[in-house]
Amino acid sequence: MNRKKYLPWMILLLITALALAACGSTAPAEPVDDSASDTSDAAPVAEEAEAPAESTEYEDRKVATFIWTQEFDTLSPLYTGMWFVTITFDLWNAPAWAFNDDDLPEPRLVTEMPSLENGGISDDGRTITLNLRDDIKWSDGTPITANDFAFTFEMIMDPANIVQSTYPYDNIASVTAVDDQTVVMTFDEPFAPWMTLWRYVLPEHVLRPVFDAEGTLDAAAWNLAPTVGAGPFVFSEWESGSYARFVRNENYYGERPAIDEIFIRFVPDDASQTAALVTGDGDLGTFIPYSDIPTLEDAGVKVMSVPSGYNEGWYFYFGENGHPALQDLNVRKAIALAFDRAALSEDLLLGLTQPAATMWDNMPYNDPTLEPWPYDPEEAKRLLDEAGWVDSNDDGTRDKDGVELILSHGTTIREIRQDAQAVAQQQLAEVGIGLDIQSYDADIFFGGMSDGGPVASGELDISEWSDGPSVYPDPDHYYWYCSEIPTDDYPDGGNWQRLCDETLDSLFTLQTTQTDFAERQATFHEITRYMFDNVIWLGLWQDPDLWAVSNRLQNVEISGASPFYNVAEWDIQN
């Protein structure tokens, strides 16, 4: 066969491949409400649909394109903790309540928020009753009842399901469906963070048959294709590595969404995300690099900064085998004073955020009188001198009893963190503190003690990452307890900083039982003041979520806890 004959075949092959690649998706599909498909053995990630013969009608549809830099791992709330997935629950699932842009709860499935006043919370705080609306239904028309809540609890706690997390449901003693509209939860102890519950509910009529047949939900088709939901939109399809589509839920019990379809495109590269937003290939993006904000704003893309409880900070290692300098409060204060975090926010973060005082910045639980440590290198030097750390051997670094004041510092490979590391190294050197900086991939950095994770194993004197409360906007934190210090018998302990402080321990224990907001707030003011004064954690910058919103999208309000709480009101200009 000569080359002349090859060429047409190759072209034909390419055209065929193009046609095949275009098959199987993705014309507008109506919401799929055939629950039978969810109970089948197959896992239909993408629904088959005809390619559009004429695209005119399709082009009239209101399609909002979101750019996600991480692809879903699964869509089942049971099996994921991925932020890019959990924030979609407000699109397609059924939270009992959502949080508005002031982070205040708004009833969704319940008629009102339970409280002491309306009897929803018992006087001893151990029983909470949820009264459900009588008009709520799944996207296939089946009513949402109290049985769905009891089923959800059962599935989370059943060891046959390898769920991502049992928190906060492991604090509940029982969930009972008294009748179709009444859910009663009981607790062994009052559980202050109860509003972190019920961010989602599972459809019992879809998943119970799967569980009964297979003994687990681990391989349920619904996990990857939750075609039955209860949000303003309903899942339509998910093509691996490419996109996921959510179309308007015609059975939605709330306000009819103005947008026909939410198209989530997975674009892993930051620069490509920015390019897509600039060219109009995307209408909404998040986790955008600070350095790209001017480019986006020049292109008419609005950037919204939304606090979501996260603050970037330094965790000091207090373990017995740690650096002796960090046991000294004066040294920790000196570190705080020697690092110009205001300039860092201004220069590296373009002034779009500011230094964090505590881990609860931008929350009502933070002591409002606290201000971040100022930049005062002279005072830092004085404190170090006072603590006995002086440069006795003239090598440029302070020392004491033969120990050099050189601290190991580690963080992840995120660019902004590595930049901050370099700045910190330079500034601390000016007061005689050496910083030995290292960076790791996230799966190594956050690895457990038994996997040799550098933070969990206590290899670093200072570790840097961004963290927030267990479930924002609740302020609870789990890893400051003495009992959480990792040991050979308990290698999974979360208190990687090895701090055992009885005052802090008792305050954290107290707040979890305070169901009265004012009492709990007062306890947290005490916690934040104590941690600040003792420089137990040093805030670098408040780490809000950055959202890029195209000028086509309208009525967009974003909350830190439930970003899409008002997505039904969003509209888009074609």
Residues between 2 and 31 that touch another protein (CB under 8 A): 2-3, 10, 13-15, 17-22, 25-28
Residue (159 or 402) nearer to another protein, CB: 159
Cβ at position 279, least distance to another protein in Å: 5
Nearer to another protein, 81 or 324 (CB): 81
Any contact of residue 492 with another protein (CB under 8 A)?
yes
Q: Which phi-psi region, left, alpha or beta, contains residue 220 (left: φ > 0; alpha: ψ -120 to 50)? A: beta
Q: Please count the residues of this chain forming the interface with another protein, following the rule CB under 8 A.
A: 97
- Closer residue to another protein in complex, CB, 245/381: 245
DSSP single-letter state for residue 371: -
Q: Which DSSP letter does residue 528 get?
A: H
Nearest to 71 by CA among 222, 230, 269: 269
- ∠ CA 565-106-63, nearest 5°, is 20
**DSSP bridge pairs for 399:** 390, 404
**Could you tell me which residues are beta bridge partners of residue 233?**
248
Q: Which residues contact 185 (CB under 8 A, 6 or more apart)?
A: 127, 128, 129, 130, 172, 174, 175, 176, 194, 197
List the one residue from 104, 116, 162, 173 that touches another protein (CB under 8 A): 162
**What part of residues 306-325 is at the interface with another protein (CB under 8 A)?**
310
Residues in region 430-489 near another protein by CB under 8 A: 441-448, 450-451, 453, 466-468, 470, 478-479, 484
CB of 223 or CB of 515, closer to another protein: 223
CB of 264 to another protein, least distance (A): 10
Helix (H) or strand (E) holding 244: strand 243-248
The b-or-e profile of 520-551 (16+ CB within 10 A means b, else e) is bbebbbbbbebbbeebbbbbbbbbbbbbbbbe
Residue from the set 35, 38, 79, 172 that interacts with another protein by CB under 8 A? 79
Q: Which is nearer to another protein, 95 or 114 (CB)?
A: 95
- Range 269-286 burial, b when 16+ CB lie within 10 A, else e: ebeebbbbbbeeebbbbb
Which residue, 22 or 116, is less far from another protein as judged by CB? 22
266 binds another protein per the rule CB under 8 A: yes
Q: Rule CB under 8 A: is residue 272 a binding residue for another protein?
A: yes
Q: What is the crossing angle of helices 204-214 and 146-157, to 10°?
A: 40
Chain residues 164-183 in contact with another protein, contact rule CB under 8 A: 164-167, 170
Which is nearer to another protein, 109 or 420 (by Cβ)?
420
Helix 502-511 × helix 517-533 angle, to 10°: 160
Task: Please select the residue that binds another protein; options are 240, 369, 392, 506, rule is CB under 8 A.
Answer: 240
Least Å distance between CB 261 and another protein?
7
Segment 203 to 222, residues that bind another protein, using CB under 8 A: 218-220
Residue from 30, 34, 51, 178 touching another protein (CB under 8 A): that is 51
Binding status of residue 271 toward another protein by CB under 8 A: yes
Closer CB to another protein, residue 54 or residue 371? Answer: 54
The one-character DSSP state at 390 is B
Site for another protein in 86-125 (CB under 8 A): 86
Question: How far apart are CB 424 and another protein at their closest, in Å?
Answer: 22
Site for another protein in 376-435 (CB under 8 A): none
β-pair type (311-316, 553-554): unpaired
Q: How far is the CB of 272 from another protein (least distance, A)?
A: 5
CB of 405 to another protein, least distance (A): 28
CB of 337 to another protein, least distance (A): 29
Measured distance CA(377)–CA(432) in Å, rounded: 10
By CB under 8 A, tell whether 329 contacts another protein.
no
Write out the binding residues for another protein, residues 274-293 only, by CB under 8 A: 275-276, 278-282
Single residue of 176, 242, 439, 457 touching another protein by CB under 8 A: 242
User: CA-CA distance, 267 to 286, in Å (whole number)?
Assistant: 11
Q: What is the total residue count of the chain?
A: 574
Q: Are 336 and 328 in contact (CB under 8 A)?
A: no
Identity of the amino acid at 54: E
**Cα four-point dihedral sign 397, 402, 405, 409:** positive
Q: How far is the CB of 185 from another protein (least distance, A)?
A: 20
Query: Which residue type occupies 132?
Result: L
Which pair of structure tokens corresponds to residue 160? 């046959």
Distance CA 123, CA 328 (A): 45
Tokens of 288: 């955008």
Shortest Å, Cβ 207 to another protein = 13
| Residue 170 Cβ vs another protein, minimum distance, rounded to whole Å | 7
Of residues 144, 177, 224, 531, which one binds another protein by CB under 8 A? 224
Q: Binding residue for another protein (CB under 8 A) from 196, 223, 362, 497?
A: 223
DSSP secondary structure code for residue 31 in this structure: P
Give, as ranges, the residues between 332 and 371 that touch another protein (CB under 8 A).
none
C-alpha 280, offset from chain centre: 26
Residue 63 vs 96, nearer CB to another protein:
63
Applying CB under 8 A, among 41, 48, 52, 124 the residue interacting with another protein is: 52
In the bound state with another protein, the residue whose beta carbon lies nearer, of 74 and 514, is 74
Query: Alpha helices of 339-433 — where are they, by DSSP H?
Result: 341-347, 377-386, 415-429
Span of 234-242, 317-325, 358-366, 370-378 interacting with another protein by CB under 8 A: 234-242
End-to-end CA distance of the chain: 52
Tokens of 504: 């802090």
Sole residue written with tokens 């899409």: 564
From CA 72, how far away is CA 164, in angstroms rounded? 14
159 binds another protein (CB under 8 A): yes
Question: Nearest distance from residue 27's CB to another protein, in Å?
Answer: 5
Q: How far is the CB of 222 from another protein (least distance, A)?
A: 10
